[in-house]
Amino acid sequence: MDGVIIKSTGSWYSVRLRDGKEVKARLPGRFKLENKKISNPIAVGDKVELSAEGENFIIEIIVPRKNYIVRKSPKKKYFSHMIAANIDQAILIASHKRPRTSLGFIDRFLVTLEAFRIPGYLLINKSDLYSKNEQAALQGIMDLYESIGYQTMMTSFIEEVPHRLGDWLRAKTTLLSGHSGAGKSTLINLLQPNANQQIGEISDFADKGVHTTTFAEMFSLDIDTHVIDTPGIKELGLAEIKGEELSHYFPEIRALMGQCKFNDCLHIDEPSCAVQEAVESDKIALSRFESYLSMMQEGDNRR
């Protein structure tokens, strides 16, 4: 009997079988021992094979993944946390205020997607809250990411889902990510009104969102269209990315590979560096280069 993990609640997992029925299953301890550096050996999106155990089931086999995405575990040092598996794309839902999403956070998310070869989109929500000047500034940010190769959109999840977003989602399994309060659960409720995802308020402290989604969960909008709602992320720590590989995950830096004087150039303070020259001539945005340097300075914490 086989199915797909659609919700993880710690010890038990919700599995959707081929016939659409949902069952509960548990994961034997041997899987946890086999993945010593992963805080969760299975994630939403994983395909599994089950065996019966009374009214419930046991996960016997985790089918090899076509891909997965991880972050540094927020609770266990030197561990990675798997966010989702077998996804076609990911959308970062960002906002300029209540809560504010920094450019550094956006870049970390996109680097993570690049590292795992997952197409990414940037959606700036809550456009109804922004002044004309703020919208103009945000358009400049969107133009920057469009020039790098990412599709972007600015909208507001009030009454309906924009048609263009529907086109993004159609016939794909999509991961939704972002800070708490940015609008992920609001979007889920618009896409699937019976989802009843709790909407978070914004706390006064540092304008941060309050966590409402506790566990990742997959929702099916159509037979071949699925979205995965994930808990809000306060900070995104990179995992499984080596410092010498980081430049490969910035498309505009990757395009200059082989043009520096030294083959092992890390683009920090080396002479005759094509990347630094591109920053000085505004061919690479300073904000992107600063994000690169910030990630490089994390050193072994990325591994």
The model's pLDDT over 15-67, given as tens digits with 9 standing for 90+, comes to 999 999 999 999 887 776 566 678 888 999 999 999 998 888 999 999 999 99
For residue 203, the model assigns a pLDDT of 40
pLDDT surpasses 80 at 288: yes
pLDDT surpasses 80 at 95: yes
Question: Who contacts 297 (Cβ-Cβ below 8 Å, separation ≥6)?
Answer: none
189 close to 195: Cβ distance less than 8 angstroms: yes
Q: Which CATH number fits domain 69-229: 1.20.210.10, 2.60.40.1180, 3.90.1150.10, 3.40.50.300?
A: 3.40.50.300
**Which band of pLDDT confidence, cut at 50, 70 and 90, is reported for residue 227?**
very high
Q: Nearest 10 degrees: CA dihedral of 236, 291, 132, 177?
A: -20
**Which band of pLDDT confidence, cut at 50, 70 and 90, is reported for residue 274?**
very high
Higher pLDDT, 31 or 267: 267
Q: Tell me the C-alpha distance between 199 and 207, whole Å.
A: 16
pLDDT surpasses 80 at 111: yes
Q: Which of 35-39, 107-111, 220-224, 299-303 has the lowest mean pLDDT?
A: 299-303
Higher pLDDT, 240 or 77: 240
For residue 211, the model assigns a pLDDT of 43
- CATH class belonging to 246-302: mainly alpha
The closest of 57, 37, 41, 40 to 49, measured between CA atoms, is: 57
For residue 159, the model assigns a pLDDT of 64
Q: Tell me the C-alpha distance between 187 and 55, whole Å.
A: 34
Write down the pTM of the prediction: 0.88
Higher pLDDT, 196 or 66: 66
Q: Tell me the C-alpha distance between 292 and 267, whole Å.
A: 9
- DSSP letter assigned to residue 117: T
pLDDT surpasses 80 at 302: no
Q: Nearest 10 degrees: CA dihedral of 245, 250, 254, 256?
A: -120
pLDDT cut 70: percent of the chain above it: 89
For residue 34, the model assigns a pLDDT of 62
pLDDT cut 90: percent of the chain above it: 68
For residue 209, the model assigns a pLDDT of 43
Higher pLDDT, 299 or 221: 221
In the CATH scheme, what is the code of domain 2-64? 2.40.50.140
For residue 53, the model assigns a pLDDT of 86
pLDDT surpasses 60 at 300: no
170 close to 225: Cβ distance less than 8 angstroms: yes
Query: Identical fold at 2-64 and 69-229?
Result: no
Q: Tell me the C-alpha distance between 278 and 95, whole Å.
A: 29
What is the chain's mean pLDDT, rounded?
88
**pLDDT average, residue stretch 279-294:** 98
pLDDT one-digit tens code per residue, 120-177: 999 999 999 999 999 999 999 999 999 999 999 999 987 678 889 999 999 999 999 9
**Domain boundaries defined on the chain:** 2-64, 69-229, 246-302
For residue 206, the model assigns a pLDDT of 41
Q: Tell me the C-alpha distance between 64 and 259, whole Å.
A: 38
